Structure 1
Amino acid sequence: MQQFENIIAGKRVGAASGKWIPSLDPFRNEDWCQIPDSDEADVDRAVQAAKAAFASAEWGGLTATARGALLRKFGDLVGVHAQRLAELEVRDNGKLMTEMLLQLRYIPQWFYYYAGLADKIEGGVLPIDKADHLVYTTWEPLGVVAAITAWNSPLLLLTWKLAPGLAAGNTFVVKPSEFASASTVAFAELFDEAGFPPGVVNVVCGTGPAVGEPLVRHRDVAKIAFTGSDNAGRLINRAAADDFKHTTLELGGKSPNIVFEDADLDAAAAGVASGIFAAGGQTCMAGSRLLLQRSVYEKFLDKICALATDIKLGDPMDPKTQMGPMANIAHYRKVLNCIADAEAEGARLALGGEAHHAAGEGLFVKPTIFRDVKNESQLAQREIFGPVLAVIPFDDESHALELANASNYGLGAGIWTTDIKRIFRLTKKLQAGTVWVNTYRALSFMAPFGGIKHSGLGRESGQEMMKAYLQPKTVWINNSDKTPENPFVMRLS
């Protein structure tokens, strides 16, 4: 069984306790590797390493241009090792190799993009209203950042944090999910090969209570960048408030995919299927609520059921497989319990609704569709994070908008229509951080991503994300030889 160690101050080390946690291959339903069962002692050691690196001449003394050069080199290395890193992710969380390899080949673009931005963040000289004063602003890194990632796309989610944060000059302590840590450790090992100083990027594996909580509360952590559930995000935000730490929280979703009668129904059906069944629905942006206009309700429902029926479940390494297993046993049970709860609540099952055993011993759940769902039901309001679609009928545009916005979440939304005026009306009024029109689940390093309401705080990706890892400083220089007339009065003139 393989062992993946922590990375602290550039060295591979086990947990101080000497304990290990097994990691499950969800397709084979068997343990395949071990990660350190770390605790607060390991966290403190990693934070101190990151703090020392931040203050060092080797990192803190680098120009922004030099940091950009390191990021470009790291991006090149990720491309070289994409196949191996993708295979590790598939073993750890059951995602499709076809998708993970595409992700790993695209991830370098984030590092190239922020490498280019590293020396483009400029302060400025202010045309101040005070005679004989020169006033200018600069942007400075925050310090040590805690990056806490989820198990569904560990390296993509980590990249969203590392690329802008490192370009800005910060250092990191990474806490990956205990259900999928192997790829993160292998990914972080490449920073040494790229020439980053020891301690700039550290990884501490372990559970949330033993590692995540002390990391969030550590006095020397300046910012927390987290991806996960809204419940965990709420706890992190409260803990961060005690020390006034900066936060970026990318949380859950219950995103509506809205299909109007004038849409290209075949394209919409493919988009809806992608939105909920791709990655087994284990994505924060999953289009888990299908809002469907009554005039095409039965016709479209037949289409989406036919598509879902033909989805091939199986070995995620097989390029013919279209949907893999649930990522871990706890989540597999949660999804099945949510389906049982929906049926107990009176939801009408149109397809699936049970475990799938034909693919072997893996943690598979059949693509599941509930019809005629009430938007106020638990099924329509609760993030299931699995291949479960709630189909909700609507009458007209205003009704669709009302249903779409009636949720605690606001991460994404999809619109399927050929009416350009409707597109502009709805994109303005939908309460979501991202709106996809006649497409779904598209991402870019150039485009901000994040949500409102319970879907989080802040954004990831895009130019403005750099400033989420920086803080402004204002400098006042008095060029006058005069002594203030009254030193006890604020300088307002």
Structure 2
Amino acid sequence: MTSPAAAIIDGENVSGSGGPIVVVDPSTEETIAEFAEAETALVDRAVASARATFERGDWRAASVEQRQAVLRRCADAIDAHADEIADIECANTGIPYAQIRNGQIVRAAGNFRFFADYIGQATAELYEQEPNYLTYVRREPVGVAALIAPWNSPLALGSMKVASAIAFGNSCVLKPAEQDPLGLTRLVEVIQGAGLPPGVVNLVNGGGATTGDALVRHAGIDCVSFTGGTRTGKIIMTAAGAALKPAVMELGGKSANIIFDDADFEAALDGALIGIFSNNGQQCLAGSRVLVQRGIYDRFIEAFVDRAKKVRVGDPRDPATEIGPLATRRHYDHVMGFVPAPGDKSARILAGGGRAHGFDRGFYFQPTIVEVDSNAQRLCQEEIFGPFATVMPFDSDEDAYAAANDSRFGLVGYAWSRDIARIMAAQERISAGTIWCNTPMIRDLRAPFGGYRESGVGAEGGRAAEAFYTRQKAVSIPRRPLNLRKLGMNG
């Protein structure tokens, strides 16, 4: 596997001279790529390219139909290279190949098609309250967007940022996570041949504290979109705010999955397993706190633990694999650090709790379930970000809502019940940006996706993206000739 370019500028690959970036296959712990990151001078070049293209206007001023056609060709290009990109991404992230090929890449192409459709349905506001005037509102692209993608789902989430930013006429500079830059870099190379003018989509690879910081603070950047950890998000938002740059942050989560005693038992069981163990458990939207009503608690937990023990951990290229390795050694150590000590009576391991059996190498972690006595536990308050669920019983509905909302996060929530009145109460009472009722994760790209509290600021999605990546301009025009006051006529 060849190492990626440090940058893609004006559609061309460029080598860097910054610090070393070492990319490791998490299934083997072998180095699969090594390259020099994009130094400050390359960040300057990438931003200058995006700025020049924006000011020149060959993309910004293109018609909606022209931009739609290019966005759809970007999607077609991703489809045409899907197997290759999936192979690269699997080696870099350890996410099962089937989940990448049939999930993330489908979503990546779909992001471009969605925004192609969306911009074709845009409407404008018109105000006629002032009888002598028409006032309408234009939306114009912001300029140059800095887009910082996460390491847990680079293709799906990185492509979402690119598609939404450029759909409205902006240029952008994308920075993949330094842990897994390979698949997203290849995707950006692929779409360069889809008709994008050079400089519309640029890319810089490097560390967050170096390349990423230089990008966010660059005077040529007009807005910043970041998906990642809450601590890093605060640093980025502070830097952006110092220059009054708008920023949207999609950050961490510690979401509650509430299973009421009248839930469809099998559906809730399937949903709970999907909610915590898909994508190797590395999801900000994971249902990591499973709250089960006491009347069905013992039965549900027995089934949940039994199924978790049967989840297949293995080589991400094996079609039978359901969970691959965690992304990095550092993250493996982080997740392992949450395993309760033997004999801890307040946090009891029901399944997993250590390295997956049969693997001498690779960052393989067992699907883990821990029963806790209190939502105040560190396991319930901090984001573990792995195949690691806590379970706890609750008595009344009010107890469930109190536990669900006892968190500094508020990204998503889950509720399972056959009673529509109970579901309606749950979606109102759970304090989070997205509530999934009687279903695991589903994403309608028209709807906003963003969090409350430390789960983020702003949102992504159709209308939310339009609001972020465009500026409003009010234009007032007289309906008829005006009889204006004639100042200075009496002197």
The two structures have a TM-score, normalised by structure 1, of 0.94
**Contact persistence 2:340–2:347 (CA under 8 A):** no
Residue 302 in structure 1 maps to residue 310 in structure 2: no
- Alpha-carbon separation, structure 2, partners of 1:343 and 1:213: 44
- Look up the equivalent residue of 1:406 and give its one-letter code: D
Deviation of residue 370 (structure 1)? 0.9
Q: What residue is the counterpart of 1:491 in the other structure?
A: none
State the superposition RMSD in angstroms.
Answer: 1.9
Match of 1:490 in 2: none
What is the rounded CA distance, in whole Å, between the counterparts of 2:169 and 2:105 in structure 1? Answer: 24
Whether the 8 Å contact between 2:2 and 2:33 is mirrored in structure 1 is: yes
Share of identical aligned residues, percent?
36
Tell me the CA shift for residue 49 of structure 1.
0.6
Counterparts of 2:139 and 2:342 in 1: how far apart (Å)? 50
Q: 1:410 is paired with a residue of what secondary structure?
A: coil
By how many angstroms is 1:481 displaced? 5.5
CA 1:344–1:21 in structure 2 vs 1: closer, same or farther (change >3 Å)? farther
1:357, CA displacement in angstroms? 4.4
Deviation at 1:343, TM superposition (A): 7.7
Return the alpha-carbon distance in structure 1 between the equivalents of residues 468 and 211 of structure 2. Answer: 24
Superposition deviation, residue 346 in structure 1: 4.1
The offset of 1:459, in angstroms, is: 1.7
Residue in 2 aligned with 1:81? 81
Equivalent pair of 2:346/2:372 in contact (CA under 8 Å)? no
- Once residues 273 and 343 of structure 1 are traced to their aligned partners in structure 2, the CA distance between those partners, rounded to angstroms, is 26
Matched to 2:163, the amino acid is: A
1:159-203 superposed Cα distances (whole Å, 9 cap, x missing partner): 221222111001110111000101111100122210101111011
Give the TM-score of the pair, scaled to structure 2.
0.95
| Equivalent-residue separation in structure 1 for 2:346 and 2:420 (angstroms) | 37
Q: Which moved more, 1:197-206 or 1:262-271?
A: 262-271
SS at match of 1:258: strand
Determine the C-alpha separation between the residues in 1 that align with 2:345 and 2:60.
57
Count, aligned residues: 485
2:256–2:291: 8 Å Cα contact kept in structure 1? Answer: yes
Residue 342 of structure 1: how far off its partner (Å):
10
Match of 2:485 in 1: 484
Q: Which residue of structure 1 lines up, in the alignment, with residue 117 of structure 2?
A: 116
Stretch of structure 1 that moved more, 171-180 or 119-128: 119-128
Matching residue's letter, 1:12 = N
- Correspondence list, 1:146-157, <5 A: 146-157=146-157
Report the residue type matching 2:28 in the other structure: R
Q: Which moved more, 1:437-446 or 1:406-415?
A: 437-446
Instruction: Look up the equivalent residue of 2:105 and give its one-letter code.
Output: L
Contact 1:109–1:445 under 8 Å retained in 2? no
Assess, with a 3 A threshold, how the Cα gap between structure 1 residues 342 and 121 changes in structure 2: closer, same or farther. Answer: farther
* Code of the aligned partner of 1:122: T
**Which residue of the partner structure matches residue 458 of structure 2?**
458
Letter in 2 for 1:422: R
- Call closer, same or farther: CA 1:415–1:68 in 2, change over 3 Å: same
Q: 1:45, CA displacement in angstroms?
A: 1.1
Query: CA contact under 8 A between 1:72 and 1:112: conserved in structure 2?
Result: yes
Counterparts of 1:302-381 in structure 2 under 5 Å?
302-340=302-340, 346-381=346-381
- Cα distance in 2 for partners of 1:343, 1:420 equals 42
Structure 2 match to 1:28: 28
Residue 282 of structure 1: how far off its partner (Å): 0.3
Structure 1 residues 170 and 452: CA distance shift in structure 2, 3 A: same
* 2:298 matches 1:270: no
Aligned to 1:12: 13
The within-5 A match list for 1:117-136 is 117-129=118-130, 131=132, 133-136=133-136
Change beyond 3 A, Cα 1:117–1:363:
same
Query: Aligned partners of 2:203 and 2:433: how far apart in 1?
Result: 30
Task: Give the 3-state SS of the residue equivalent to 2:249 in structure 1.
Answer: strand
Structure 1: which 5+ residue stretches go unaligned? 488-493
- The equivalent residue for 1:43 is 43
Distance 1:342 1:386 in 2: 20
SS at match of 2:138: strand
Q: Does 1:425 align with 2:425?
A: yes
* d(CA) in 1 for partners of 2:205, 2:36: 6
Greater Cα offset, 158-167 or 309-318:
158-167
Q: Which moved more, 1:460-469 or 1:149-158?
A: 460-469
What is the match of residue 60 of structure 2? 60
For 1:70, the aligned partner's letter is V
Q: What is the DSSP-based 3-state SS (H/G/I as helix, E as strand, rest coil) of the residue aligned with 1:90?
A: helix
Contact 1:312 1:321 in 2 (8 A): yes
